[in-house]
Amino acid sequence: MDTEIFRKISYGVYIVSSRKGDRINAQTANAVVQITAAPPQLVLGICKDNFTNECIKESGVFAVSILSQETPLSLIGRFGFKSGREVDKFAGLSYRLGNNGCPVLQEHTLGYLEGKVVKELDAGTHTLFVGMVTDAQRVNEGEPMTYAYYHQVKRGTTPMSAPTYIEAEKKEQREEKTMEKYTCTVCGYIYDPEQGDPDSGVAPGTPFEELPDDWVCPMCGATKDQFEPAE
């Protein structure tokens, strides 16, 4: 089996949110598809280990914010590499509560879909939720972020809890031999001096050593001392 071919399946990048009592939470997700048009239903694949899964199971409601292509890595990383059990992922972000009480982003978001779970299926490490869409609204104009764009242009990485995680991704990153690149030991993000980190105002051509001391991983927020030379 050639697992590389899995990478040719196309996805968008979404923030799937839910709530548990008064607590709200959300996570980055890619496994979101419309499954029927009449009535409008979505399918979501959510890792069982994630707090968002627990919230959706308990409340039976969710919202999907569709990220724009301009979304900074830091936002995707905040929702993808941290757990809502420990941090309030929405702190400092512009969002509002939808009709079903789930938070929807107002920044870097083309629009959102709110839904109510009508069926669920155990798929091993992940739960498949089938949801009836109860509302859908546009928020900003723009093009949607795709998984391909996220990986190729934004150089984003994939957490182990994603349905699409491939060990090869880390391996491939390790195989890049240029000594000037630095790898984040927390999330696997690679700082490439040729690319810089434009999201954080770091110009292409900036060596790792010259990054400001308060620079953090654009993906997961790890500090500079948590980086090591890429092998």
Binding stretches for a copy of itself (CB under 8 A): 1-6, 8-12, 30-41, 43, 45, 66, 110-113, 119, 121, 123-126, 128, 130, 133, 135-138, 144, 146-148, 162-166
For the CB of residue 149, give the shortest distance to a copy of itself in the complex, in Å: 9
197, β-bridge pairs? 202
The residue (of 128 and 186) whose beta carbon lies closer to a copy of itself is 128
Provide the 3-class DSSP secondary structure of residue 5: helix
Backbone phi and psi for residue 139, each to the nearest 5 degrees, phi listed first = -120, -55
The residue (of 93 and 133) whose beta carbon lies closer to a copy of itself is 133
For the CB of residue 55, give the shortest distance to a copy of itself in the complex, in Å: 19
Cis peptide bond upstream of 40, omega within 30: no
Spatial neighbors of 124 by CB under 8 A, at least 6 apart, are none
Token pair 């980055």 is found at 28
The residue (of 13 and 211) whose beta carbon lies closer to a copy of itself is 13
State the Rg of the chain over Cα: 18
183, β-bridge pairs? 190, 228
- Report the distance separating Cα 192 and Cα 40, nearest Å: 43
For the CB of residue 95, give the shortest distance to a copy of itself in the complex, in Å: 17
The residue (of 23 and 138) whose beta carbon lies closer to a copy of itself is 138
The residue (of 12 and 84) whose beta carbon lies closer to a copy of itself is 12
For the CB of residue 205, give the shortest distance to a copy of itself in the complex, in Å: 28
Structure tokens at 227: 């980086």
For the CB of residue 125, give the shortest distance to a copy of itself in the complex, in Å: 5
Q: Please tell me the number of Cα atoms within 13 Å of 204 on its side-chain side.
A: 2
